A = this chain, B = another copy of it.
Amino acid sequence: MKISAQWNYPTDIRLGRGRIEELAKICRELTMTNPLLVTDRGLVSLAITRTAREILRDGGLEHQIFAEVDPNPTERNVEAGLKVFREGRHDGVVALGGGSAMDLGKCLAFMGGQSQPLWHFALGGDGWKDADPSGIHPIVALPTTAGTGAEVGYACVITNLETRVKTPIFHPRLMPSVVICDPELTVGMPRTITAGTGLDAFSHCLEAYCSPLYHPMAKGIALEGMRLIKEFLPRAYRDPVDLEARINMMSASIMGAVAREKGLGAIHAVSHPINALFNTHHGTTNAVLMPMVLAFNRKAIDKKIDRLASYLGLSGGFDGFCDFITGFRETLGISQNLTELGVPADQIDVLVPLVLSDPAAATNPVRLTEENVGDLLRSCF
């Protein structure tokens, strides 16, 4: 099955094998003459990066590369990148990579022409309204993983080195102008990353689907996103070069990111501080937590999950869905609980307040309290 498509929302998205070939043409259409290619240290020497550079060069586009990106990009990465961006008089960014390169690339294109400091634009405040629109440069996103959804987000997450807090920076124009989803760019992912990022997308869809907020468009996207992941993630995991599976996972990544506008929940509220404190992989941690959070939320979501199970072709309603999740995790090599993941069980008291203050806590179907979060955490070890 040869899949090729162009979508107009949430932004201009071009899907299909080999579509990286359109990179130079797209950059020119966005009036770039001298983009900065932002990627990470792991990708910089790989063939896909060389290919991207050749396409830019053959298309007559001067460019430079910047790869000093930490796995959780920091303000130091932003400063170093901005220096290169400004000194090189770049007029746009091509962001090639997973969530980290994507976030940093987006951040550089946005900050390139701003005079305020980075934290002025932190999500939640009104700072974004002060941005100088003429100083925001166009972004082309080339994702190499399928799950975080950073390729279609309005935010980029930068770690504040002073507070040690991962801080989302927000502006409507942090959304890349064009996203090229070329499945060949994702075949090189390590297996565990295929599983972890894919389950990250699943957790975006699942929590958005269960959130109590009113957003039927997001709900429908979440529903179909889970169907895709159920069908295609095991295939991509088993056979890394299954391009049909890979492109469907790229779609699911976008769908999870779009759906999460409906709200997330306790999977994310618990995962975030665990990732930050114990350096666990975000998507993998989400996958570990999924059955426990489902059980925790049961009384508020069982009817919704019944309908989901039936759409996914699973019998047994809520219980059937939970059994499926447990088996799905196993197939994908995910740990059964936080202990197996290497998280120490004696930090529950430290975690509880962090979970409660996480932005995702607000839209969990069951209201989170000090007491029930303690119980939930204990059930995860």
Contact = CB atoms under 8 A, between A and B. Distances in A.
Interface stretch (A56-64, A212-220, A316-324, A351-359): A212-220
Given A9-B9, A214-B3, A258-B9, A223 B225 contact: no
A88 interface: no
Given A9-B10, A224-B223, A258 B154 contact: no
A254 B9 CA distance: 13
A interface majority secondary structure:
helix
Contact of A223 (B154, B220, B248, B258): B220
A307 interface: yes
Contacts of A172: 8
B5 A215 contact: yes
Contact of A258 (B213, B217, B251, B252): B217
Contacts of A4: 214
Interface centre among A5, A10, A154, A255 (most CB of B within 10 A): A5
Given A220-B222, A222-B220, A215 B7 contact: yes
Given A9-B9, A307-B311, A310-B310, A224 B213 contact: no
A365 to B, nearest CB: 16
Q: Give how many copies assemble into the complex.
A: 2
B9 A216 contact: no
Contacts of A222: 220
A261 interface: yes
A216 B310 CA distance: 18
Contact of A219 (B216, B224, B252, B313): B224
A221 interface: yes
Contacts of A311: 223, 307, 310-311
A310 B311 CA distance: 7
A228 interface: yes
Interface in A301-354: 307, 310-311, 313
Which of the listed residues A154, A252, A307 has the most CB atoms from chain B within 10 Å of its own CB?
Answer: A307
Contacts of A10: 8-10
User: Closest 6 CB pairs between A and B?
Assistant: A220-B224, A220-B220, A220-B221, A9-B10, A311-B311, A5-B214
Interface of A: 3-5, 7-10, 15, 154, 172, 213-225, 228, 248, 251-252, 254-255, 258, 261, 307, 310-311, 313
